[in-house]
Amino acid sequence: MPSLKDIRTRIVSVKSTQQITKAMKMVAGAKMRRAHDAVVGARPYAAKLETLVRHLAASGGEATHPLLEQRPVQRATVVVMTSDRGLCGGFNGQLLRAVEVELKGHPQVTYEVIAVGRKGRDFLKKRGYSVVASHEGMGGHLTPEFARELVAAPITAFAAGQTDQLVLAFSTFKSAIAQLPTLEPILPVPLPKVEEGGVAGDASYLFEPGEAALLADLLPRYVATRTLRALFESEASEHSARMAAMDAATNNANDLIRSLTLSMNRARQAIITKEILEIVGGAEALAA
C-alpha cells in the first residue's frame, strides 16, 4: 500500500495536471468560437459559388474547361487536414482511419497525399503513402491565399492530366461534441443531374462576359473556396474536440483526486489506529 506521503504527492501532482487541463479547455473553447464564426461565415459563400459553377458548367452551352473533364480515376491527390498536436480526443484518429480505408479500398488508384498538419503527415508516411507536400503551424493563420497556394499544384496537375481526381479529407464541424470525418471530391467539378427537359434546377442565367471566360475565372476560385471552407471546418472540429477532451480530463482528475483523498484518509486513520493500539498495549503491559 502506498505511504501517506506518496498519496499526498500524487494528489498534488493530479491537481497540477487538472489546472493545465482546465486552462487548455478554456483556450480551446475561445479558439473554437472564433473558428465556428469563420465556418458559419464561409458556408453560404461556398454553397452559392458551388451552385453557380455547377449551373454554369451544365447550362448546355459550348463552354468547356480542363477542370470539368470526367475521366477514369487512375491517379488521385488527397489533401488530408489534421492537427499538429494531440490531446484532442479521437479527432485525428477517426479521420485518418477513414482516409486509410479509402486508400486501401481502391488499390488500382495511385494516390498522392498533401498533408496539412503534422499528425496526418507522420501517420501516412509511416504507412508508406506518398506525401508530396506538408504544411504545419497553420492553426489560426488560415487565409484565402494559403488555400489558393495549397491547391495550386493539384489544379495544374489535373488540368495537365497528371492526376484524375482531387479529394479533400477533413472533419466537418457538426457541434461542439460531434465532428464528422469527410472525404469530399472537388475535382472534377461534380455537375447537377440532367433530367428530362434540361438541367436539374433552374439554370436560366445570362452570363457576361461569357461562359468560357467565367469558367476560367470561377473554377480555380471555386476549388480554393471549397478548400478554405474545409480548412475552417477542420480547425473548428479540432478545437471543439480538444475542448471536449480537456473537459473529460478535468472531470477524470476530479474523480481521481476524490479517490486519492479517500485513500489518504484511510491510510491516516490506519496510522492513528495503530498508534492508539500501541499506546494501549504499552499501558496494559506496564499495568501488568
* CB-based contacts of 8, cutoff 8 Å, min separation 6: 264
Distance between CA atoms of 269 and 227, rounded to whole angstroms? 62
The CA distances from residue 246 to 26, 93, 138, 163, in Å, are 9, 17, 22, 41
Specify the amino acid at residue 9: T
**CA–CA dist 204, 181 (Å, integer):** 35
User: Can you give the length of the chain in residues?
Assistant: 288
For the chain, counts of helices (H) and of strands (E): 5, 7
SS3 (DSSP) at 151: helix
The residue ranges of DSSP E strands in the chain, in sequence order, are: 75-81, 110-116, 130-135, 165-175, 178-187, 194-195, 198-199
HSE of 209, CA atoms in CB hemisphere, 13 A: 6
The Cα 115–Cα 32 span in angstroms is: 22
Distance between CA 161 and CA 67 in Å, rounded?
10
Annotated catalytic residue, options 58, 81, 88, 166: 88
Residue 146, C-beta contacts closer than 8 angstroms, at least 6 positions apart: 135, 138, 228, 231
Asked if 109 is an active-site residue, the reply is no
Residues marked as catalytic? 88
